[in-house]
Amino acid sequence: MTEPTKPINLNDPIDPAESLIEYPSDFPIKIMGAMHDEFAATIVDLVALHDPEFHAGKLETRPSSGGNYLALTVTIRATSREQLDNLYRALSSHPMVKVVL
């Protein structure tokens, strides 16, 4: 008989040996928001707070077919799970951001 699986607590730290991400590494993050003149610049500034090496040259943009949304891909230098978690929280809570993947 197998033992029941223990529930996962997303707040528990992950053992580096169990992480699927190797640190440090380049890590792409996709961000979508409404089309706005300042959207890309605002996201660049926000990401740079979490990755001092990040700059606009590491940003890819793609407007939606209807021109109502802008998709951004930022590639950061991920140094830890904590850094990624903090960046995802900052992006997800920003009022200009609709989706973070």
Domain boundaries, the chain: 22-100
pLDDT mean over 78-91: 96
Question: What string of DSSP letters covers 45-87?
Answer: HHHHHH-TT--GGGEEEEE-TTSSEEEEEEEEEE--HHHHHHH
R_g over Cα of the chain: 16
pTM of the model: 0.82
CATH class, domain 22-100, is alpha beta
Residue 5 has pLDDT above 80, yes or no: no
- Report pLDDT digits (tens) over 8-30: 555 666 565 566 889 999 999 99
Provide the greatest CA pair distance for the chain.
60
